[in-house]
Amino acid sequence: MAEKPSSNMVERIAAMQDYNLYRDLSWEGTFEDYLAVVRQRPQVTRNAFQRVYDMIVSFGTEEYIDNKKKLIRYNFFRDEMGNGADAIYGLDIPLMRLVHVFKAASEGYGPEKRVILLHGPVGSSKSTIVRLIKKGLEHYSRTADGGLYTFNWVGLKEIGISAQEDVMPCPMHEEPLRVIPQEWRTKAIKDLGLSNDQFQVRVDGDLDPACRFVFRNLLAKYDGDWSKVVKHVRVRRLVLSEKDRIGIGTFQPKDEKNQDSTELTGDINYRKIAEYGSDSDPRAFNFDGEFNIANRGVVEFVEVLKLDVAFLYDLLGASQEHKIKPKKFAQTDIDEVIIGHTNEAEYKKLLNNEFMEALRDRTIKIDIPYITKLSEEIRIYNKDFGSEKIKGKHIAPHTLEVAAMWAVLTRLEDPKKHSLALLQKLKLYDGKILPGYTQDNVKELRKESKREGMEGISPRYVQDKVSNALVNDAGEGTINPFMVLNELEKGLRHHSLISNDEMRKRYAECIGIVKSEYEDIVKNEVQRAISADEEAISKLAANYIDNVKAFTLKEKVKNRYTGQDDEPDERLMRSIEEKIQIPENRKEDFRREIMNYIGALAVEGKRFEWHMNDRLRTALERKLFEDQKDSIKLKTLVAAVVDKETQDKIDTIKARLIKYFGYNEVSATDVLNYVASIFARGDAKE
C-alpha cells in the first residue's frame, strides 16, 4: 500500500523562513525613529563607495608574501556567498588595485569622481568581478552591518497633493537625511550627535525632482513648518536587488539606431500627463533609467566603450559631478559606483578617438589580465570539471593540468634570457625553485614582460575543448591528456580570435612543449609506482643515512652481514645523489644538509622518515627504479605475449598507480602502455 503523503509539507517549507530576518528587512518607522537609528549606527548613512569598500573588507583578508612583496588576498573574491561559483583565481594584484581605488574613493580622495574601467582580453573575469560586486552588495544590504534606509511619502491624498495615491515611494531610494535642507544639515548632524568616533555622518546632494516636488508642496501647505512636513515621511529598510531593479543597474549598449539616453535617465510617462496636466510634472515622469534605479548602489556598463558618443555626456556628468539630467528636469544628484568593462580591441579604439578624450580623462583603468600562474589556472578547470561535477566519466590525472599548462604558455612572452626556456619561466611564475634563479629573477622577468597576460588563449576556449573530449565516445569512459591536447590543437584551425598563422604556429609549438613535459611527468609517476616498494625503499634509505652519517662524522659503518667496520660506501651514496644531479663538488654540502635536517627534527622530538625530504625522496625512488626496472621488464608490455610473473608485477604497478596517483583501471593501463612505448624507443630519462 502506497504511503500517504505528509500533510504538513507546507508547514515544513514555512519552517525554513527566518521571521526575524524578515522583520528586520521590513522595518518601518518615523523620521524621529530613523534619527535614533543613525545615532546608534551612523554607518547606515554611508555613500555607495564606502558601502562597497566595507562590504569587500567585511569578508576578511589574508596577507602573504610573493617574490618578497607583501600582497593582500580579499576573501570576498572567493565567492563564499555562492559556494565559489564566481570565485576569482590568480588575480590578487589586479584585485588589490581595484580595492585600493574603492578605499581612496570611500575616503573622498578623488576616485569617487571617476568611471572605473576594467580592461583586459576576452574571458579574463571582468564581468565576473562586476557580477560578484553586485551580488555582494545585495547580500551585504541584508545584513545588520550593511543596512541602509530610504523613505515613502505618506498621507498625500488627504491633504490634496495627490488625487490618486496616498503613498508615494521615493523613486530614487534617497537617503532619508536628505529631507533636512542643505543649509541646516551639517549643523543638525553635529548638534544631534549623529556621528561617532568611528564614522562621520556626511550627506551630500538634494532630493530627486519627485521628492522635491512633494516636499515643496508640503512646506507650502504647512506655512513653512518643516516639523509637520516630516510627519509625512515614513522611513523603511532598503534591500538592494538587481532583479527588482533597486540599487543595482546594468546597461548594455544595443544597435546605434536603437540607443536612447532615456534608458539611462528615465522618460516621461505619457499616460499620466492627462492626470497631472503637464509633462514637466515629476509625478508624470518614470525615474526608471539605469542611473535612477542604481542610486545608492552600483551601475554596470557592459562593453562601455561601445556606447554612442551622445551617451558620454550623461556618463561624464554622472561620474564627475554625481549628477544626471532627466528630460525636462533640473540636474539630479546621484550616489552610485559606476563600473564598466571593455576588451583590448575596444580600448585601442578609445585611444585613437579624439572625441573620447573627456572620457579617458575621467576613467581609472584597471588591467585584468589572464592568469599566468599555473596552479591558479588549474583551479578554474577543477571548479568546472571536478570529480563531484562530472558523473560517469573518469578524468585521468594531469588532464586538466596539461590543458592549463598550455593555456598559460600561450600567454607568456618568450624570455629575453636565451638560457631560460618558456616552460621554465612558467614554473618560476608558479613558485617552483630552479637552479640559478631567485625571487629577484622572477621580479625581473615580470618587469620585462609588461603585456604578459593581455594576450593568449582564454579559459573559455579550454573549457569548450575539455567539454568536447568529455562527450566524445572514445576512451572507454575515461578522458586523458592526449585527448584534450588533440582537441585543443584541432580547434586552433578554426579559432576566431587567432588572427595570423604566426600566432597559430606558436600555439601549436606550445602543445609540443606540453606533450614533452607530460611525458616526463608520467615517466616519473611510473618510476615512483615501480619503486613504491615500502620495504625496499626503507632499507635503501636506512643504508644511505648510515653511510652519510659515518661520512660526515668521519666514522666507519658496521657491515650488517659480516659485522666488520667498513669505510662509508661512496659508490652507493653517489649512485643515489647522481639521480638528482648533485655534482661531485657539492656532495659534501648535500650530505651535511641531510644530517642538519635530521638533527633539527630530533631537537623537536620528531623522527626522520625518508619521504620527509623531497630531494632525498626523489633520489631514492629513482635509484630503486633503476635497480628494479630490469626485473620488471617494462618494455615487454608492448610485446604481444607477457609471462605470468611479469603480468603479476605489472598488475602491482597498476594497483599502485590507482591507489597513490588517482588513475582508474583504463587510464592506468593507458599510461603504462605509453611509458612502456617510451622505454621501448630507448629514450628513458636517466
Q: What confidence tens digit (pLDDT) does each residue in 605-628 have? A: 888 887 788 888 888 888 887 776
pLDDT at 161: 75
Same domain for 583 and 483: no
Least confident of 154-168, 373-387, 481-495, 628-642: 628-642
**In sequence order, which ranges of 192-323 are alpha helices (DSSP H)?**
209-221, 226-229, 262-265, 270-276, 290-293, 309-320
Highest mean pLDDT range out of 40-49, 359-368, 551-560, 658-667?
Answer: 40-49
d(CA 490, CA 212): 64
Among 513, 528, 543, identify where a domain stops. 528
Q: Is 73 in contact with 92 (CB distance < 8 Å)?
A: yes
Residues 428 and 488 occupy one common structural domain? yes
Domain count, the chain: 2
Asked if residue 523 and residue 417 are part of one domain, the reply reads yes
Give the pLDDT mean for 385-394.
77
Average pLDDT over residues 560-576: 83
- The secondary structure of 349-386 as a DSSP string is HHHH-GGGHHHHHTEEEEE------HHHHHHHHHHHH-
Q: From CA 366, how far away is CA 369, in angstroms rounded?
A: 10
Angle between helices 399-411 and 422-429 (to 10 degrees): 110
> Could you tell me what percent of the chain has a pLDDT over 70?
93
pLDDT in tens, 658-670: 988 889 888 888 8
pLDDT at 639 over 60: no
Find which of 143-147, 489-493, 657-661 is predicted with most confidence, using mean pLDDT: 143-147
From 59-68, 332-341, 479-488, 672-681, the region with the lowest mean pLDDT:
672-681
Encoded amino acid at 464, one letter: D
Higher pLDDT, 291 or 669: 291
Neighbours of 125 (CB within 10 A): 28
**Mean pLDDT across the chain, nearest whole number?**
87
Same domain, 443 and 551: no
Tell whether 452 and 595 lie within a shared domain: no
| 85 falls within a domain | no
- Does the pLDDT value for residue 641 go beyond 70? no
Looking at per-residue confidence, does 350 or 483 come out higher? 483
User: 638 or 515, which is more confident?
Assistant: 515
Both 479 and 541 in a single domain?
no
Tell which residue, 479, 487, 475, has the closest CA to residue 511. Answer: 487
Reported confidence tier of residue 683, pLDDT bands at 50, 70, 90: very low
Residue 479 lies in a domain: yes
Q: Which amino acid is at 424?
A: Q
* Cell (9 digits) for 651: 598488475
In a domain, 284, yes or no: no
Q: b/e for 175-194, b at 16 or more Cβ within 10 A?
A: bbbbbbeeeebeebbeeeeb
Q: Looking at residue 404, what is its pLDDT?
A: 96
* pLDDT confidence of residue 2: 52
CA separation for the pair 333, 325 (Å, rounded): 9
Question: Residue 68's pLDDT band (boundaries 50, 70, 90)?
Answer: confident
Which of 145-159, 311-325, 374-388, 610-624 has the least mean pLDDT?
610-624
What does the alpha-carbon distance between residue 615 and residue 462 come to, in Å, rounded to a whole number?
34
Reply yes or no on whether the pLDDT at 306 is more than 90.
Answer: no
Q: What is the mean pLDDT of residues 355-374?
A: 88
Query: Which residue has better confidence, 616 or 1?
Result: 616
| Any domain includes 90 | no
In DSSP terms, 367 is beta-bridged to 119
| 411 and 457 part of one domain | yes
The average pLDDT across 575-579 equals 89
Query: With 60 as the cut, is the pLDDT of residue 675 above it?
Result: yes
Rounded distance, CA 43 to CA 294, Å? 20
Domain that includes residue 579, residue range? 532-624
Residue 293 predicted with pLDDT over 90: yes
Domain shared by 451 and 468, yes or no: yes
Q: To the nearest whole percent, how much of the chain has pLDDT over 90?
A: 47
Least confident of 78-82, 192-196, 265-269, 475-479: 475-479
Contact 403, 480 (CB under 8 A): no
Whole-number Å distance between alpha carbons of 254 and 263: 11
362: left (phi over 0), alpha (psi -120 to 50) or beta: alpha
Residue 493: φ, ψ to 5°: -65, -25
Q: For 238-273, what is each residue's pLDDT tens digit?
A: 999 999 999 999 998 776 666 677 889 999 888 888
What pLDDT shows up at residue 685?
A: 44
Do 481 and 608 lie in one domain? The reply is no
**Does residue 162 lie in a domain region?**
no
pLDDT over 50 (residue 597)? yes
Same domain, 509 and 431: yes
Cα-to-chain-centroid distance, residue 45: 30
Classify residue 668: in a domain, yes or no: no
Dihedral over alpha carbons 596, 597, 599, 604 (to 10 degrees): 140
Distance from C-alpha of 476 to C-alpha of 469, rounded to nearest angstrom: 12
Give the pLDDT score at 6: 52
Dist. CA 573–CA 411, nearest whole Å: 42
Under a CB-based contact definition with an 8 Å cutoff, are residues 372 and 455 in contact? no
Q: What are phi and psi of 53, to 5 degrees?
A: -65, -45
Per-residue confidence (pLDDT) for residue 152, from 0 to 100: 96
Where a domain ends, among 496, 512, 528?
528
CB-CB contact of 557 with 565 (8 Å): yes
431 is a domain residue: yes
Whether residue 420 is contained in a domain is answered as yes
Same structural domain, 501 and 485: yes
How confident is the model over 597-609, as a mean pLDDT? 87
Q: Cβ(239)–Cβ(142) under 8 Å?
A: yes
Domain co-membership, 419 together with 524: yes
What residues have CB less than 8 Å from 277, skipping those under 6 apart? none
In this prediction the pTM is 0.85
Selected residue with higher pLDDT from 276 and 485: 485
- Among candidates 447, 368, 380, which has minimal Cα distance to 94? 368
Residue 549 has pLDDT above 60, yes or no: yes
Lowest model confidence (mean pLDDT) among 234-248, 428-442, 460-474: 428-442
Beta strand pairing call for 363-367 and 115-119: parallel
Structure-block grid coordinates of residue 38: 543613525
pLDDT for 224 equals 93
Question: For the residues 87-106, what does the mean pLDDT come to?
Answer: 95
List the single range of 35-39, 234-238, 262-266 with lowest mean pLDDT: 262-266
pLDDT at 680: 67
Domain boundary residue, one of 468, 497, 528:
528
In this predicted structure, what is the pLDDT of residue 360? 81
Rounded to whole angstroms, what are the CA distances from 221 to 165, 179, 505? Answer: 18, 16, 78
Question: Which stretch, 32-41, 482-491, 676-685, has highest mean pLDDT?
Answer: 32-41
**Is-contact 476 371, C-beta < 8 A?**
no
pLDDT for the residue numbered 638: 47
Locate 392 and state its grid cell: 560517469
Please enumerate in sequence order all residues whose Cβ is within 8 A of that of 248, keeping only pairs 6 or more positions apart, or say none: 134, 137, 138, 240, 241, 242, 293, 294, 297, 298, 299
At residue 191, the pLDDT reads 94
394-430: b or e for each residue (b if 16 or more CB lie within 10 Å)? Answer: bbbbbbbbbbbbbbbbbbbbebeeeebebbebbbbbb
Cell triple for residue 291? 542611473
More confident: 420 or 132: 132
CA atoms of 376 and 124, how far apart (whole Å): 13
8 A C-beta contact, residue 290 and residue 250? yes
Is residue 640 pLDDT above 90, yes or no?
no
Q: Which letter does DSSP use for residue 612 in this model?
A: G
For the residues 522-526, what does the mean pLDDT come to? 86
The CA distance from 331 to 318, in Å, is 10
